[in-house]
């Protein structure tokens, strides 16, 4: 099956007519195996699909867009590449729904770092395709969301956002701006912080699993 992105898949253990899906989006310089290592811990009724970012950095390392490591936020990312990845992920969601018995009304994005930044962008650009987002160690970058997104209908979208208080890659201050932005759009958001760096704390994993189950 030739889809827009390379991916790993774990079929649901509990088969329904249409199963929900968790789409995992890794961070910069990682690959689809990274978050997929969580797959066995995730709920049994979901398709777990972990996508590989399209830009090749080196063997086994991929990115959703190029990053210029610079303290100045404006020079932080290649926004054009990010927009291309945003639309690629949206297309990939459509392809998954067309090729697997996936419930199109129960699609959750789980992103880490760059994957989390993209998750916000996809969900707010295409809220008709995405129902929930788990955004870990990322931030809200308005510049890579489709123009006029504020007019979109977000009534079916919910977001769980989390960040490490001592994150040395993406400052906690950037993440802290997110809840207010989402609340202004009337998107329900659960925001949590953990005393960790740029990574996923066990408690964070536990909290978002509970959030998914609610």
% of the chain with per-residue pLDDT over 70: 96
Complete domains list, the chain, with CATH:
7-213 (3.40.50.1820)
Residue 47 has pLDDT above 70, yes or no: yes
Please report which confidence band the pLDDT of residue 2 belongs to, taking 50, 70 and 90 as the band edges: confident
Please report which confidence band the pLDDT of residue 125 belongs to, taking 50, 70 and 90 as the band edges: very high
CB 34 within 8 A of CB 76: no
Radius of gyration of the chain (CA): 16
Q: Is the pTM of this model over 0.85?
A: yes
Q: In this predicted model, what pLDDT tens digit does every residue of 137-193 receive, in sequence order? A: 999 999 999 999 999 999 999 999 999 999 999 999 999 999 999 999 999 999 999
Residue 213 has pLDDT above 80, yes or no: yes
Q: What is the token pair recorded at 4?
A: 């827009």
Please report which confidence band the pLDDT of residue 114 belongs to, taking 50, 70 and 90 as the band edges: very high
Span of 68-77, 80-89, 113-122, 183-192 with lowest mean pLDDT:
68-77
Please report the pLDDT score of residue 16 as a whole number. Answer: 87
CA–CA gap between residue 117 and residue 77 (Å, rounded):
11
> What SS3 state is found at 109?
strand
CA distances from 145 to 130, 142, 160 (A): 14, 5, 18
């Amino acid at each position: 099956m030739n889809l827009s992105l390379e991916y790993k898949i774990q079929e649901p253990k509990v088969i329904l007519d249409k199963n929900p899906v968790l789409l995992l989006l890794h961070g910069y310089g990682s690959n689809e195996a990274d978050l997929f290592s969580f797959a066995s811990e995730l709920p049994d009724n979901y398709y777990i699909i972990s996508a590989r970012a399209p830009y090749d950095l080196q063997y086994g390392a991929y990115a959703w867009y190029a990053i210029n490591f610079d303290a100045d936020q404006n020079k932080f990312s290649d926004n054009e590449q990010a927009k291309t990845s945003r639309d690629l992920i949206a297309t990939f969601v459509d392809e998954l729904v067309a090729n697997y018995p996936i419930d199109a009304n129960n699609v959750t994005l789980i992103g880490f770092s760059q994957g989390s930044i993209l998750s916000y962008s996809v969900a707010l650009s295409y809220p008709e395709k995405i129902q929930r987002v788990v955004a870990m160690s990322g931030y809200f970058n308005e510049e890579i969301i489709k123009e006029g997104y504020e007019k979109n209908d977000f009534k079916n979208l919910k977001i769980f956002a989390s960040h490490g208080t001592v994150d040395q890659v993406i400052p906690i201050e950037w993440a802290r701006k997110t809840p207010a932005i989402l609340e202004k759009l009337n998107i329900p958001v659960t925001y949590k912080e953990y005393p960790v760096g740029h990574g996923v704390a066990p408690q964070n994993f536990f909290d978002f699993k509970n959030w998914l189950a609610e």
